Structure 1
Amino acid sequence: MQNEIEPERVEVVVVGAGISGLQAARLLRGKYSVKVLEARERVGGRLQNHFFANGDSVDVGGQWVGPGQDRMYRLIGELGAAIWPLYDRGDNLLYLAGKSRRYRGTIPKINPIALADLGLAMARFESMARSLDPAAPWLHKKALHWDSMTLDSWLQKNCRTKLARQLFAVGIGAVFAAEPAELSLLHALFYARSGNSLETLLAVTGGAQQDRVHGGTAGLCEAMARDLGERVRCNAPVESVTELPGGSLQVRYRQGVIICNRVIVAVPPNQALRIRFEPELPAWRDKLLQRMPAGSCIKCVARYEKPFWRDSNLSGQVASPQGPVRVTFDNSEQGKASGLLMGFLEGDVARYYSNVSPSERREAVLDCFARYFGETARNPLEYVDKDWSSEGWTRGCYAALFAPGTWTGGGARLREANGRIHWAGTEFAVEWFGYMEGALEAAERVAAEVDAVLNGTTGHHDFNKPEAHHV
C-alpha cells in the first residue's frame, strides 16, 4: 500500500478557474493563501479562444460586454486589454417564409397585426420584469403564480399570432439557449431584470452585445491566471471535499490533497454535482443544484477572405424562426482582413445537431449562411463550431436554467454558504445572471463572505473598490 501524499495547506481552495473563480482568488490572495484547482487543461471555463490557420482568433465561448457591465470594463482596463464594438452598421435581415426582409433596430418589420402583437407582448413582459427585485424574485406578490408556469404557456396566452410567438421565441433562444417551455416565467423575468431589460439583452449598440475584447475573453482569464502564478493548477479535477475533525476541509483532487479552511465552488451547478461532499450537502442544496441544468448551445463561426456581406450594406445580423441557425452576427475582428460570420444552434436544435456528424452539422450551418447571404457564404476558408453540451467539464451553455418551481422552492437560499463551502459563478449573481459581469459580481460577494469569516468580522469589505484589487 502506497503512503498517502503529504497534503498541502492553504487557507482557501477555489474549485474552477473560470472568470469567477479566478477573480475570487485574485481578490483574496493579498490577505490569504489561495489555491485554484481546474479540471481542464486550460483556464477560462465557458470562455475559450479558437485559433484559425492564419493566426486569427475568435471566441467560441462567451464574448460580449455592454453598458452597465462596469466590473467587466474595469477588469479589461486593469489587465491592459482593449475593446472594439461589434459591427452594427447597415441593414439586419429577417428571413421568413423563404424571403429576406431588411430592417433596422431590434424588432423586425412584419405585418402590422403581428408587429402590434409582438410589441404588446414585449411591453407586458418588460413591465412585469421591472416589478421584480432581482435580489429576491421569490418575494414578488405574484412569484408563486409566475413560477408555476413556463414562459411558453405565458406566450401562448399573450401572443395571439403565431408569427409573434415565433419571433419572441427566437429572442428567447438567443438569450437563454433554451426553448420557452424549458423556463419558468419567473426565471425569464428575473433574468431580464438582472440584465436591465429583455431589450438590453437583445440589443447590440447600447445593449449586451455591444463590445468585444481584443485577444478574446479567454485571454482575460489567461492574464488573470498568469497574475496568480503557481496558485492555479490545471488538470486537477476535484473529487471530494471532506470535513475533518476540528472543522478544516480536505480537498482531494487527481494529483493530491489540500487541507484548507474554506472552499469556494466556482463551477457550473451541474458540475458541482460531480464532487463528493462528506458530510453530504444539505438535501435542499443538492435538490437545487439538480434543478439547475445548463442551456444547450453550439456556437458556429465561418471565416472568409473578407466580410463580403458589408458590400451589400448588411450588418451580418439575421433573425429567423426557421433554422437550424436562427441568429447570426458579424464576428469579424477589428483590424483584421478576414470576415467572420457567427451563428448559434440553440435549445432543441442544438440537442439535435449535437448528435450528428461534424460534417453534417457544418453543412447545415453553411446552408443557413448561404440562404441568408448568398452562395459565397457556403464556401468559407475555415469553419469551427463548439458544442458546449459535449464539453466534458461544462455540459451546456450559456448558463443554468430554472424550470417552474425552482426559484420559489429554493431560490431564497441559492447564495447561502453551506458551512465552510461557498458558491460563486454567474448562476449565483444578482446582477447580470448568466453573463461574465454576473460571474464577477458573484466573485466579489463570495470573497467578502470568506474574508469576513477568516478575518473574524462580519463587516463588509468592498472588493469592488480599485484599491482592493491585488494586481
Structure 2
Amino acid sequence: MSQDFSRRTFLGGTVAAAGAVAGAGLIGAGPVSAAPRGTTVDAIVVGGGLSGLAAAKTLTASGASVLVLEARNRAGGRVHNIRSPKKGAVLDAGAEFIGPTQNHIAALAREYGVPTLNTYNKGDSIFWNSGTAHRMTADVPLPLVPATAEAGPALARAQADALAGFPVGEPWKHPNARYLDSITWKQYTDQIVSSPTARSLAAVAMSAAVSVRPDELSALYYLNYIAAAGDENNPGTLIRLLSTDGGAQEKLFDGGAALIPLRMARSLGSRIVYNAPVRSIGWSGGVARVTSDAGTFTARKVIVAMSPAISGQIRYEPGLSAARLGLTRGYHMGAISKFSALYRRPFWRDKGLSGQVYGNGRPIDVTFESYAGGDHILMGFISADAMRRLDHAPESQIVHECIENFVDYFGPEARDHIDHGIFKWDLEPWSRGGPVAVSRPGTLTKYGPALREPVGPIHWAGTETADYWTGYMDGAVRSGKRAAREVLTELR
C-alpha cells in the first residue's frame, strides 16, 4: 500500500507521520479540535484508543474533568476501519474478533449499538505445512495429523503451566518465573518436540495470536497470555485463545469493530483533542504539564494509554524509574499487516472449507472468512519476517503475492476478487506494529511490576497492562477502567 509520508521531529529524532493512504480511505477521522487552555483538569489521558477512551469514560462518569490527547486524526488506536479502494467497503484493519469471557468489550458494544455476527466456522479448515494442505474439521483448533501427537505434550504442558495457580497479570510472581523468563517460546517447546511439523504446530499455536516468531518472545510472556484468555471466574485456556466457536474468534462486529471507539469518542465530544501527539510530560508541585503538538495542558493526574513498546518515546521530566525504562526497552511490537480480498460469493464454502487456514504459508500464515456490506471476504495476516520483507514493497506486489497465496489455499477462484484492502501496522507511526507488544526474555522478571506501577502522577493503561485478555480489545477496556479507578482513588 503506497503511503505519503512527511518527516517530523520527534523527541530528538524523526518518525514517519501518516499522510494520505492510497487505496484505503480512513474511516471516522476526527476533527482538528480547539483545545481548551488555561484550566488544570483532573486528568489528562494520553491516547484515544480503546484503553484511553475507557479511562476517560470511567473518569467522566465519576464527575472528574478529563482531556484526551490523541496523536492521530481519529479515535480507536489499533482498532481501525478502512475502506476498500473500488467499492468503498468498510474493512477491519485492526482488532476484529470477540469471544466468550470478553465481557467488557461486549458491554460497550451493547451500549453503543454495535451488533455482532458469527464468524463462519463450518466445514474444514486447513493446516498448511511447507506446501502441503491438511484438511481438518473447523470445530477443532489444531489439526489431526500425526505430528499433533508429538506437539500435543508441549501444548499440554503449556496449558498446565498456565493453569497451575498462575498469577494472571503478574507472571513475575510465578514460582518458576526466573527460568520461564530466561527462555523463548521456541526453546520451551523444542525441549519436547523435535520433528519439523510438530515444531511448526507449536509455533503457530503462538504466532497465530501474537504475530511474532517463536524465538522473539519470552516463554513466561506467552504462558501468561494463555492464562489471561479467560476472566475471574473462568481460567484461561489455550483452546479458548485459539478457537473460533467458543473461543476468541467466535464473533465479529457488523460494520467493523472501530464503530465502538468512534461512538465512544463522539460521546466524549470536545474532551478529545486530535492531531496532538504528546512530546513530553513533566510534573512538580502536584501538577503535571503535558506538551503536545496541539499545545501544553495541565492536570493533576495523567494516564498514558499506550503500548509500553512506544510509551518510552515520550520525554518525562524529572524522569522515569529505572524499572520503567528497562520495561519499555524490553518490549517490542509484532510486525503485522492485514490483507482482505472481497468476493461476490464465498466459493470456498462450495468446497466444504471454512475459509480458515493456519500454518507456515507465505506471506499469509492465518486466514479467516469475514464480511462487508454483503460481500464475502478472505482476510489474512502477514506477520513477522514475511511482513518485514514486504514493509516497503509496492501495493501491487503485496496484492499479487497475497492473492496467489489464497490460490494455494482455496483454488484458482481466489484470483476473481473484486476489491481488496491492506493496512500496514508496522508503518503506522503511532503504533509501529501490532497486534500487541511482547516482551523479550528477562524483561518480566526484572521489570514486570513497572508495567502498572505509577511514576509520580502518571498511571499506565493499554491492553498490554491488562490482567485478563491482554492483547485484545477486552484487555484494553479493562486496563483503562483500572487506571481510571487508580486515579479516582488518588483524587479523592
TM-score normalised by L of structure 2: 0.88
| In structure 1, distance between residues paired with 2:474 and 2:334 | 18
The secondary structure found in structure 1 opposite 2:98 is coil
Aligned residue number for residue 309 of structure 2: 270
- Provide the C-alpha distance between the structure 1 equivalents of 2:405 and 2:332, rounded to a whole number of angstroms: 28
Question: 1:243 corresponds to which residue?
Answer: 283
Q: How does 1:231-380 map to 2 (within 5 A)?
A: 231-244=271-284, 246-333=285-372, 336-380=373-417
Question: In the alignment, does 2:157 pair up with 1:121?
Answer: no
Aligned with 1:239: secondary structure? strand
Alignment of 1:74-223 (within 5 A): 74-104=107-137, 105-110=140-145, 112=146, 114-131=147-164, 132-195=166-229, 196-223=236-263
- Do 2:114 and 2:254's aligned partners in 1 also have CA atoms closer than 8 Å? yes
**Count of aligned residue pairs for this structure pair:** 446
Greater displacement, 353-362 / 193-202: 353-362
Deviation at 1:191, TM superposition (A): 0.7
The answer to whether residue 41 in structure 2 is matched with residue 10 in structure 1 is yes
Aligned residues of 1:86 and 1:211 also touching (Cα < 8 A): yes
Do structure 1's residue 51 and structure 2's residue 83 form an aligned pair? yes
Distance 1:98 1:412 in 2: 44
Listed one character per residue, the Cα deviations across residues 352-399 of structure 1 (whole Å, up to 9, x for unaligned) are 121322222221111110111111212311111111111011001011
**Separation (CA, whole Å) in 1 of partners of 2:107 and 2:358:** 32
Task: Check whether the contact 1:159–1:165 (CA below 8 A) recurs between aligned residues.
Answer: yes
- 3-state SS of paired residue (1:261): strand
Q: Helix, strand or coil for the counterpart of 1:158?
A: coil
Helix, strand or coil: the match of 2:333?
coil
CA displacement at 1:185 relative to structure 2: 0.8
Q: When the two structures are superposed, what TM-score results if normalisation uses the length of structure 1?
A: 0.92
Structure 1 segments (4+ residues) deviating >6 Å = none
Q: Which amino acid in 1 is paired with 2:214?
A: P
- Matched residues in 2 for 1:197 and 1:123: separation? 10
Partner residue of 1:226 out of 266, 278, 292: 266
Q: Which amino acid aligns with 1:27?
A: T
Question: What do residues 416-439 of structure 1 show as CA deviations (whole Å, max 9, x unaligned)?
Answer: 111100000101111111111111
Give the Å deviation of 1:6.
5.5
RMSD, aligned CA: 1.4
- Paired residues of 1:237 and 1:254 also in contact (CA < 8 A): yes
CA contact (8 A) 1:308 1:339 kept: no
The letter of the residue matching 2:274 is C
SS in 1 for 2:282: strand
Q: What CA deviation, in whole Å up to 9, does each residue of 1:254-276 have, x standing for no partner? A: 12121110000001223212211
SS of residue paired to 2:362? coil
Distance 1:373 1:185 in 2: 34
The residue aligned with 1:439 is: 476
Within 5 Å, which residues of 2 pair with 1:57-76? 57-76=90-109
Match of 1:28 among 59, 69, 78: 59
CA distance in 1, matches of 2:316, 2:170: 28
Whole-angstrom CA distance in 2 between matches of 1:277 and 1:97: 48
Taking the aligned partners of 2:427 and 2:203, their CA distance within structure 1 comes to 24
Percent identity over paired residues: 38
Could you tell me which runs of 5 or more consecutive residues in structure 2 were left unpaired when the two chains were aligned.
1-35, 230-235
CA offset digits 1:77-134 (Å, max 9, x no partner): 1111111111111111223354433211211132x3x121022221111111112111
